[in-house]
Amino acid sequence: MQVNLIKLIKDLSPTFLRDNKLVQIIFVLISEARTSFNQFMLQVPDWKYKACSNASVLSLQKTIQRELDVDCTITESDGKPVDFLVTMSGNYDEGQVRKVIDNYKLSGKSYVFENGAITYTCEFINYVCVLTMVENLITVTFSTFSGGAQVIAERAVTSDLIVICKFELRYLNPVYYQFEIHSGYTQSSEIHITEWKAVVSALLTEVTPSSDTSYDYVFDKDLTPI
């Protein structure tokens, strides 16, 4: 409630005393009363809430949450040796919680505290990968006598690899063959190149997958003369 003290002073003063100077003097004299009245009005809602609070579990839990901004659960015990258990979660001041409980609990009732489960979470920020993958070189071999070709890995692969190889032919368009190196092996099966007599060079064009948890699979991007 807002009170216009200037108007109130004029209304309550006799007519012959309603001089502005006198009203201002009275206003200054009662200014502390105005401050006290405003502070009183600010406290009224909190007093009304506390007056309605009681020792019930629901009321006590809500009061702790409202006054201290912490969550708690109150459960009844068997009375041996305590009457109820107060389970807290989050960060809290036990002294302040105990003060609130003591103000509202029934006389003669005892209690103990129990910390609720604490959950920790974390995450990496501004992370930088420091793992350097080992390169596993893939090459192609070709026999000019039998027309057989195969691809070979420097180390035993840890994934099933599909390797595409391009063969350049003399006076003809290039041809592509697909090879496969199975996990745990270092070379593919030999494939007979139908146009083997016309092959002049070979080039690996693709390896799938190009990497896994063990290796980066790399190959020479220049033509290999036969």
pLDDT in tens, 32-45: 777 787 788 888 77
pLDDT winner (highest mean) among 17-26, 80-89, 129-138? 80-89
In order, the DSSP letters of 36-87 are HHHHHHHHHHHHHHHHH--SSHHHHHHHHHHHH--EEEEEE--SSS-SEEEE
pLDDT tops 70 at residue 1: no
Rounded CA gap, 8 and 12, in Å? 6
What CA dihedral angle connects 18, 23, 25 and 26, to 10 degrees? 100
Q: What is the mean pLDDT of residues 159-188?
A: 95
Q: Give residue 133's pLDDT.
A: 75
Q: pLDDT band at 54, cuts 50/70/90?
A: low
Q: Give residue 84's pLDDT.
A: 84
Q: Give residue 123's pLDDT.
A: 80
